Amino acid sequence: MHIPDGYLGPITYGGLWAAIIPIWIYASKKVKEILKASQVPLLALSAAFSFVIMMFNVPLPGGTTGHATGATLIAILIGPWPAVIALSIALIVQALIFGDGGITAIGANCFNMGFAGVLAGWGIYRLISKFNIQHSTFNSKNPDVKNTRHLIGAGIGAYAGINLAAFLTAIELGIQPLLHAGADGRPLYSPFPLSLTIPAIMLEHIFLFGIVEAVVTVSVLIYIKKSHPELISG
Amino acid sequence: MANSKFKIQNLKFRKLWMGIAILIILSPIGLILPELLKAGGAWGEWGADEIEKIAGYVPHGLKKLSELWKAPIPDYAFSGWDKGVKSYIGYIFSGIIGAALVIGVSMLIGKIFAGKNGNS
């Protein structure tokens, strides 16, 4: 899902750079307000985790590969705006040093995976964790039930978050033939139309990579609850 | 004072740091699994050559922009280390280098951000 250089034309990559910069500025502002010196290693750990987990390519037999991003997990652990920063750091290092994702596409990749995926995943997690159903066991103050709700919320949030990131990627790639065609009528950048990008990208994320993201998220959360319960707030 | 704080932080998250290290060592799974299941790269992350095979031509803008940046360690692989066990070792090295860079940048940015509010 890391869009390389050349797949997005200037309207799209420029537009997404224009979108991500105020997001980074806002995220930095929020992080400056809340980040304590003792939490800095957590930020570094989170960014490192995201970087490393993205090295675990999961294959579709005979097909393409994908990977988890850790976006929702990190948002749950350190907050959504620090997560935007952490994910962006990992994505930028991937692009600059390893060519994983383009330079012109940094805005797009950070917007899709580092912002949309983070906020959607975290938002859904919060909704499910806090949602109150009257006279239901869901309202129970029983810590086991609360625990389960958090884990379910985390799994669903992670699944939704990465699928949103994938969907945005599919749209961005798919509109290029419409936006940028040469004098000969051939696309200048991504030659794949929406009718191709959306099914290709979404099916694999809905049926595999989204599940991988959810499993990674819930597994790590369970581990952290055991070993560092103080990191899980609320 | 600063020294002991750093040590305490190290101890505090030691298990998590070790988790990262273990993940880096296990990272070749990300190469081995696709090889075993005969999978290629990610959808839509193809280079100009592969695009030519898929679409029959290389879009003009894609050809130009794809040469924009020469990453030092393209695709997490070192030249001459792109097959077999060497590729797995190279992958781990890439993981170490990348994680170290990410950690370094995060610590730097984090310290700058945390320093601005006087929280400790």
Q: What are the pLDDT digits (tens) for A4-29?
A: 999 999 999 999 999 999 999 999 99
According to DSSP, residue B74 is labeled G
Position B83 scores a pLDDT of: 86
Number of domains composing chain A = 1
Residues A209/A68, Cβ–Cβ less than 8 Å: yes
Contacts of A197 in chain B (CB under 8 A): 44
What separation, in Å, do the N-terminal and C-terminal C-alpha atoms of chain A show? 32
Residue B3: count other Cβ atoms within 10 Å of its Cβ.
Answer: 7
Chain-chain contact of A6 with B98 (C-beta, under 8 angstroms) = no
pLDDT tens track for B52-86 = 999 999 999 999 999 999 999 999 999 989 888 99
Residue B93 confidence class, pLDDT cut points 50, 70, 90:
very high
- The answer to pTM > 0.90 is yes
Nearby residues of A30 by Cβ (< 8 Å), 6 or more positions away: A81
pLDDT tens track for A57-81 = 999 987 899 999 999 999 999 999 9
Q: How many CB pairs under 8 A join A and B?
A: 234
Residues A128/A39, Cβ–Cβ less than 8 Å: no
What separation, in Å, do the N-terminal and C-terminal C-alpha atoms of chain B show? 12
Position A226 scores a pLDDT of: 87
Calculate the average pLDDT of chain A.
93
Least confident of A207-211, B22-26, B111-115: B111-115
Position A141 scores a pLDDT of: 67
**Portion 8-67 of B in contact with A at CB < 8 A:** 9-10, 12-13, 15-17, 19-20, 23-24, 26-27, 29-31, 33-34, 36-48, 51, 55, 57, 59-66
Domain that holds residue A73: 10-231
Q: Is the pLDDT of residue B24 over 90?
A: yes
The tokens for B66 are: 């794809």
Residue B3 confidence class, pLDDT cut points 50, 70, 90:
very low
Residue B72 DSSP SS3? coil
Q: Quick one: residue B49, left, alpha or beta (phi over 0 = left, psi -120 to 50 = alpha)?
A: alpha
User: How far is residue A157's CA from residue B120's CA, in Å, rounded to a whole number?
Assistant: 31
Q: How far is CA A33 from the centre of its chain?
A: 23
More confident residue, A41 or A229: A41
- Phi, psi angle pair for B72, to nearest 5°: -65, -35
Residue B116: count other Cβ atoms within 10 Å of its Cβ.
Answer: 13
- The answer to whether residue A4 sits within a structural domain is no
CATH code for the domain in which residue A164 is found: 1.10.1760.20
Position B29 scores a pLDDT of: 97
User: How far is residue A76's CA from residue A86's CA, in Å, rounded to a whole number?
Assistant: 13
Q: Is the pLDDT of residue A152 over 60?
A: yes
Chain-chain contact of B30 with A4 (C-beta, under 8 angstroms) = no
pLDDT tens track for B94-109 = 999 999 999 999 999 9
**Portion 71-100 of B in contact with A at CB < 8 A:** 71-76, 91, 94-95, 97-99
- The answer to whether residue A87 sits within a structural domain is yes
Q: Is the pLDDT of residue A3 over 70?
A: yes
- The answer to whether residue A174 sits within a structural domain is yes
- The answer to whether residue A1 sits within a structural domain is no
Residue B10 confidence class, pLDDT cut points 50, 70, 90:
low
Residue B115 confidence class, pLDDT cut points 50, 70, 90:
confident
* Average confidence (pLDDT) over A154-179: 98
- The answer to whether residue A2 sits within a structural domain is no
User: How far is residue A114's CA from residue A80's CA, in Å, rounded to a whole number?
Assistant: 10
Beta bridge partners of B42: A65
Of the candidates A30, A39, A232, which has an alpha carbon nearest to the alpha carbon of residue B119?
Answer: A39
